[in-house]
Amino acid sequence: MNRLRLILWLALLASLGFAAWATLRPFDWKPDPQAGCHLSSAHIRKDHSYYWLDLHVKINAGASHQLEIPVVMKLADGKSLDPADITFVSRDKGPIEEIFLKFWLAEDQIHGPLNLKINQGLLRVKSTHAAPAIENGKTRALPTHRW
């Protein structure tokens, strides 16, 4: 009986450890320091043959967002894509702390790596070549850049 109880406690601890790791892990372990920010989360929604890609960017402590440098998505073919929507968040009219971006991507643009050019750096949004398997109208959270 004691042995069974020990095994159950170890299984519980292992599952709690995995849940904590899956929840707290960063989107990218080594974001470009030149960007001065990091991706906090990403969501993708399929809209027929297009995809809506929502990105949540948080500005690093002590850094600032340079408004004069446009934020663009660098596609696998080298082309740049402007965001369809961008929202800046600050508290009490202070410096920008968060940025919410929305990109409208065609099905052929979603294949291959995607990088967000922000400030003087690049943030990895997608590092794989395959398109995500997602049903039309469904939204999927992307926990890392490996999707």
Distance CA 62, CA 79 (A): 31
Q: Could you tell me the two tokens for 85? A: 């929507």
Interval 21-74: pLDDT, tens: 766 667 777 888 999 999 999 999 999 889 999 999 999 998 999 989 999 999
Average pLDDT, the chain: 89
* Contact present, 35 and 71 (Cβ < 8 Å): no
Domain definitions of the chain by residue range = 29-142
Task: Tell whether domain 29-142 is in CATH 2.60.40.
Answer: yes
Tell me the pLDDT band of 132, cut-offs 50, 70 and 90. Answer: confident
Whose CA is closest to 57, among 92, 83, 81, 18? Answer: 83
Whether residue 129 is predicted with pLDDT greater than 90 in this model: the reply is no
Question: Counting beta carbons within 10 angstroms of the beta carbon of residue 46, is it exposed (0 to 12), middle (13 to 18) or buried (19 or more)?
Answer: buried
- pLDDT confidence of residue 25: 65
- pLDDT confidence of residue 88: 95
Q: How many CA atoms lie within 13 A of 79 on its CB side?
A: 10
- pLDDT confidence of residue 22: 63
pTM over 0.85: no
Strand partners, 101: 55, 86
- pLDDT confidence of residue 29: 76
